[in-house]
Structure 1
Amino acid sequence: MRRFGRDRSATSAIEFALVLPVALALLLGGMELGQELAAARKIVRVARAAADLTSQVAQISTSGVTTVLNAAALTIAPLPTAPLGIIVSEITADANGNTTVTWSKASNAVALTAGSTVSVPQGVVPAGTSAILGQAIYAYTPTFGSAFIPSQTLNSKIYMSPRLSATVDLQ
Structure 2
Amino acid sequence: MRRLLRNTSGVSVIEFAIVTPFILSIALYGIEVAYMNAVDMKLSEIALSLADNASRIGQTDNSVVTPTVSETDINEVMRGAQEQAAGLEFATRGKIILTSLERDSATGKQYIRWQRCYGRLGRQSAYGNDSTRNGLNGTALAGMGSGTTKITAGAGSAVMFVEVYYQYEGLLGTTFVRNPVMRKEGAFLIRDNRNLTPGVTGTGGSYPCT
Normalised-by-shorter TM-score class: 0.7 to 0.9
More displaced stretch, 65-74 vs 24-33: 65-74
Query: 1:134-159 deviations in whole A, cap 9, x for unaligned?
Result: 12111110011435532111111111
Distance (whole Å) between structure 2 residues aligned to residue 127 and residue 94 of structure 1: 9
Cα 1:79–1:91 change in 2 (3 A) is same
TM-score w.r.t. structure 2 length? 0.71
Question: Alignment RMSD, CA only?
Answer: 2.4
1 or 2, which has the higher strand percentage?
1
Amino acid at match of 1:91: L
- Indicate the SS of the match to 2:85: coil
**For structure 1, which runs of at least 5 residues remain unmatched after alignment?**
none
Deviation per CA, 1:44-66: give whole Å up to 9, x if none: 11111211111102422223212
**Cα distance in structure 2, aligned partners of 1:148 and 1:156:** 22
1:104 to 96, 101, 115: 115
Report the equivalent of 1:170: 200
Match of 2:68 in 1: 59
| Structure 2 match to 1:83 | 93
Output aligned runs, 1:15-164, within 5 Å. 15-57=15-57, 58-81=67-90, 82-93=92-103, 98-108=109-119, 110=124, 112-114=128-130, 115-116=134-135, 117=141, 119-120=144-145, 121=147, 122=149, 124-125=151-152, 127-128=154-155, 129-164=157-192
Contact 2:144 2:151 in 1 (8 A): no
| Structure holding more helix per residue | 1
Check 1:125–1:164 CA distance in 2 against 1; reply closer, same or farther (3 A cut): same
Paired residues, number: 171
Give the residue type in structure 2 aligned to 1:151: N
SS in 1 for 2:9: coil
1:3-18 alignment runs, 5 A limit: 3-18=3-18
2-side partners of 1:167 and 1:40: how far apart? 35
Look up the equivalent residue of 1:144 and give its one-letter code: L
The answer to whether the Cα contact below 8 Å between 2:47 and 2:185 also exists between their aligned partners in 1 is: yes
Residue ranges of structure 2 left out of the alignment (5+ in a row): 58-66, 136-140, 202-210
Give the residue type in structure 2 aligned to 1:75.
Q
Question: Identity over aligned residues, as a percent?
Answer: 22
CA contact (8 A) 1:131 1:161 kept: yes
Normalising by structure 1, report the TM-score.
Answer: 0.86
